[in-house]
Chains A and B, each alone.
Chain A
Amino acid sequence: MAGYVVRRLLALIPVLLFVSFVTFGLVRLAPGDPVTIVLGGRKVDPATAQALREQFGLTGDPITQYVAWLGRALNGDLGESYRLRQDVLDLIADRLPITLELIAISMVLAIGIAIPLGIAQARRRDSAIDYVGSLLALVGLSIPVYFAAMVGVLVFAVWLGWLPAFGSGEDPIDRLVHLLLPAGALALGTIALTSRMTRSSMLEVLSSDYIEAARAKGLPERTILVKHAFRNALIPVLTVTSLQVGFLIVGSVLVETTMGLGGIGSLITDAIQNRDYPVIQASVLLLTVAFALLNLVTDVLYAVIDPRIRYGR
């Protein structure tokens, strides 16, 4: 297992190199010169424009620029944001916690709601709870995250006044209260998909022979559901859920902007709009690593859940 993990991590290196190269090229192909955008429009004397260009590392041809960037990156220097004039790694370190907290709360909400809901639906197929659950899933999947966030603000902040409209709060309790609304909006899609997946996976397992056998032996329904059926139904659910974390990261870009949260999502939005190359570059690499690790963790979890799965040489 350890060898497998190490090999997977090593395989990440060429992926990161490739992604960094492609990102480097793509941002430079997009219209809009960073110096023009940063200056926001005044005619500056050529010396100043040139000084900015040099500060930003935008002199020379793109390949030379890339090699220079790579050299610095390997030494742990990912550069400085053009717009915010801060070290990119510091920026990301500042912004990451709030996004991680947002995603974690979303995940807890999603799993806490979706899995019991899916099990209940499977157990009482075609009942009222099954239909209501399916309807909710349809709605949850159809509503874009930013819309859900706006509706959430209107209902829970403006009309009911239960939750703050925006911001991230200070102490842990305050933080939780502030993140409830954005995390809820973010979780909707995941709840929908995960509950559907749990339902169908449970239905499949529940109709299999060994469950019949368990029933025939007179095991309590609860034991059958939790111990025998659910564990086997979990693998596809886990696959979908871990993929969903990826969608949550993407969704956080939208929800953070809507709800005024200073996380990675709003950092990326700002950076792309302002052609802030170093920030885009670093954020994309961060997301690549996040997705790769996510897949790795999922694969390892398979083995934990299902003892028949073994990773070896």
Chain B
Amino acid sequence: MRLSPSRFGRLVAVIAALAIAAAACGGSTASSGPSDGGASAVPATPGAGPTQGGTLVAAIEGEPTSLDPAFDYDFVSGLATSSITEPLLVFCENDTTLCPNLAESWEASADGLTYTLKIRQGVSFQDGSPMTVEDVVFSLNRIRDPQLGSYVGWMLGSVSDVRATDDSTVVITLAQPDALFEYALASTAAHVVSKAFVEKSGDKYGKPEVGSMGTGPFKFAEWKTGDYQRLVRNDNYWNKANGGPYLDEVTIKILPEPTTRVAGLQTGEIDYMISMVPSDQYATVQAMSDVTLSFIPSYYGEWITFNTQKAPFDNVKVRQAMNYAFDKRAVRQLYYGPNADETKATLVNPTLWTFEKEAWQAAWDQLPAYDVDLAKAKQLLDESGVADQLNGKEIAYYESTPSIKGAAEAFIEAMGKLGIELKARKVTFQESVALQFGPHDDYDILVASWGSDFPDASGNLRPNFASENAGAGGANSSNYQNPAVDELLAQQNAIPNDKAERARMLIEAQRLIAEDSPVIVTAYPRWPLATNKRLGGVEAASLWYWQSLFKNVYVVK
């Protein structure tokens, strides 16, 4: 899962944004507005080919956790981590499928229990030592070791054995088939680290003193905590045939205050910002003459979640009534305009139809949208028989993301029209994380957000709706427990090779969930990407948080 970014101190952000907008309008040419997305967002100046040299400053909103891929599971650590170390496979074709990387090919057995990987030969680490199968086996087993406490260890949870069978082959054995396992090979869980370097660094590995070392396009240079990380080009990069690295240096600057980040874009001190442009400042950034703001289709969603194990929200009619009474479209329009996609009653964003697209489309057309219908809402509420228990129930939300706060406020207002008096329970972003992933027994309604780790509908449905994830640590924040859905989600996961059947089961699960209305989906927002126009070769897609973002970036002028 990936959570909506936390933001700090936005009290005067609006005033400041207006002022920056006024300044931005000083420039004569306005940017072309939201581009329609797609993988490469920023077109290079025609005729100007990539050249080596130049530097880039990217802004992130918080301190990275570590440069050790084992602990990279957030939106801020990956910019550096994925430039230094690389995974065995990579997401490609707009992040809808898998392509070779440090493994030049891979094959799954018919029973889905054995994966055989051919490891690329002739790849060197940044210190000049060759990458071997021993490093690959070491890297995977390291992530699997519970003692390490890796944040991505769960991705390899089905693995029972990893071994090298010869100098170029690694065989991974699973205890049971797992449809999502393959994707883990393109995540930080399958980054190849140098065994020698990790062992030499001991518990300092990934920390500012020693940093990290891998096969990636950029080398670690410096990390000043609370301030910035600095990377320099790896001139011996193995995959130069496919482009960069071109830039001499990349600086990743930590700037928690959104207004300051936006000011930095305007002054040219910041060249690159992905996802961390607040939606209420899109217009400001679009008006900047030197900056391009584009939008990337996402696997991300925002929604209101009912605690379905808590009365009266265990009553399906109450949930449906509230859904019919709430104008989701208005909220989305207000906070995202054209930069979020139309929703229906599912967490499977249409961008996640990465296989069996026609089947998903047909199912989508049948899905309820719960368009506003106050008469129907009132009728359902009456039928529920528990309308009198709803007054004074709480909706928990954090205020630092405009669309989250806005959805909660609009929801409270809409419920007022149903005669229900909901209370606002304002929490910090981190408290909301604790609610969403805690024991799920300490709230009535919660505004939640989530982005799939993988290009697969199952990556959204299983964590959020399987009853095994309802307990502490799980993501099933609606506490949804439906044996039929559990069965479908478990069965589809066990048949990784039968995509048609998997899609059928996932679609059926999606239908059951939509009828039960455990969540009200408010938006599938796209990722904003702001870049200075002097940059070319910028590429980012839905799973940008797993990508090596700076490899092909160059300075145009």
Residues of A whose CB lies within 8 Å of any CB of B are: 31-33, 36-45, 47-52, 55, 83-86, 91, 94-95, 98, 146-147, 150-151, 153-154, 157-159, 161, 164-168, 254, 256-263, 266-267, 269-270, 273-275
Contact = CB atoms under 8 A, between A and B. Distances in A.
Contacts of A154: 16, 19-20, 23, 263
B9 A166 contact: no
Interface of B: 1, 3, 6, 8-9, 11-12, 16, 19-20, 23, 62-63, 65-66, 71, 73-74, 146-151, 153-154, 157, 206-208, 224-228, 253-257, 259-260, 263-264, 266-267, 269, 427-431, 433-434, 436-438, 463, 468-469, 471-475
B259 A153 contact: yes
The 4 closest A-B pairs by CB, nearest first: A262-B226, A262-B227, A47-B146, A41-B437
B260 A259 contact: yes
B260 A165 contact: yes
Contacts of A256: 226
Nearest to B6: A273
B408 to A, nearest CB: 18
Contact of B23 (A85, A147, A151, A159): A159
Contacts of A38: 151
Greatest chain B CB density within 10 A among A37, A84, A166 is at A166
Nearest to B57: A167
A165 B263 contact: yes
Contacts of B266: 158
Nearest to B18: A154
B226 A95 contact: yes
A52 B149 contact: yes
B463 A258 contact: no
Given A33-B434, A43-B154, A43-B469, A165 B267 contact: yes
Contacts of B263: 153-154, 157-158, 165-166
A261 B256 CA distance: 10
Contact of B475 (A32, A42, A262): A42
B226 A263 contact: yes
Contact of B225 (A41, A91, A274): A91
A94 B225 contact: yes
Nearest to B254: A260
A260 B23 contact: no
A269 to B, nearest CB: 7
A55 B149 contact: yes
Given A166-B264, A273-B6, 11 more contacts: A32-B433, A36-B473, A39-B73, A40-B73, A49-B473, A84-B63, A91-B225, A154-B16, A159-B23, A273-B8, A273-B429
A163 B428 CA distance: 33
A47 B253 CA distance: 35
Interface of A is mostly: helix
Contacts of B256: 257, 260, 266, 269-270
A266 B154 contact: no
B151 to A, nearest CB: 6
Nearest to B260: A166
B434 A32 contact: yes
Given A257-B8, A262-B227, A37 B146 contact: no
Given A39-B473, A95-B226, A273-B428, A44 B154 contact: yes
A157 B267 contact: yes
19 contacts: A32-B434, A33-B434, A37-B433, A38-B151, A40-B433, A42-B73, A43-B463, A48-B153, A85-B65, A85-B66, A85-B71, A161-B267, A164-B267, A167-B227, A257-B9, A257-B256, A260-B255, A270-B63, A270-B226
Contacts of B73: 39-40, 42
Contact of B146 (A51, A157, A159): A51
Nearest to B75: A40
Contact of A262 (B11, B19, B254): B254
A48 B23 CA distance: 50
Contacts of B157: 45
Nearest to A259: B260
A91 B223 CA distance: 12
B293 to A, nearest CB: 17
A179 to B, nearest CB: 13
B267 A158 contact: yes
A115 B11 CA distance: 33
A41 B463 CA distance: 10
Nearest to A83: B65
Contacts of B3: 40-41
Given A33-B438, A36-B434, A262-B227, A48 B146 contact: yes
Contacts of B264: 165-166
B23 A158 contact: yes
A45 B433 contact: no
A275 B463 CA distance: 24
A53 to B, nearest CB: 9
B207 to A, nearest CB: 5
Given A51-B147, A85-B206, A36 B269 contact: no
Contacts of A47: 146
Contact of B257 (A41, A48, A55, A258): A258
A71 B3 CA distance: 37
A51 to B, nearest CB: 5
A45 B431 contact: no
Contacts of A165: 260, 263-264, 267, 269
Contacts of A260: 227, 253-257, 260
B63 A32 contact: no
B475 A43 contact: yes
B146 A45 contact: yes
A84 B23 contact: no
A33 B442 CA distance: 13
A59 to B, nearest CB: 14
B8 A43 contact: no
A164 B1 CA distance: 36
A44 B150 CA distance: 9
A158 B63 contact: no
A257 B224 CA distance: 15
B16 to A, nearest CB: 5
Nearest to B150: A48
Contacts of B207: 84-86
A83 B227 CA distance: 16
Nearest to A262: B226
A175 to B, nearest CB: 12
B149 A40 contact: no
Given A43-B473, A84-B63, A32 B430 contact: yes
Nearest to B65: A83
Given A85-B207, A260-B260, A266 B473 contact: no
A189 to B, nearest CB: 17
Contacts of A40: 1, 3, 73-74, 151, 433, 437
A39 B437 contact: yes
A307 B325 CA distance: 76
Greatest chain A CB density within 10 A among B228, B254, B257 is at B257
A51 B469 CA distance: 20
Greatest chain B CB density within 10 A among A42, A47, A95, A267 is at A42
Contacts of B208: 86, 94
A51 B149 contact: yes
Contacts of B8: 257, 269, 273
A147 B19 CA distance: 13
Greatest chain A CB density within 10 A among B149, B150, B264 is at B149
A164 B226 CA distance: 17
Nearest to B428: A273
B154 A45 contact: yes
Contacts of A266: 226, 256
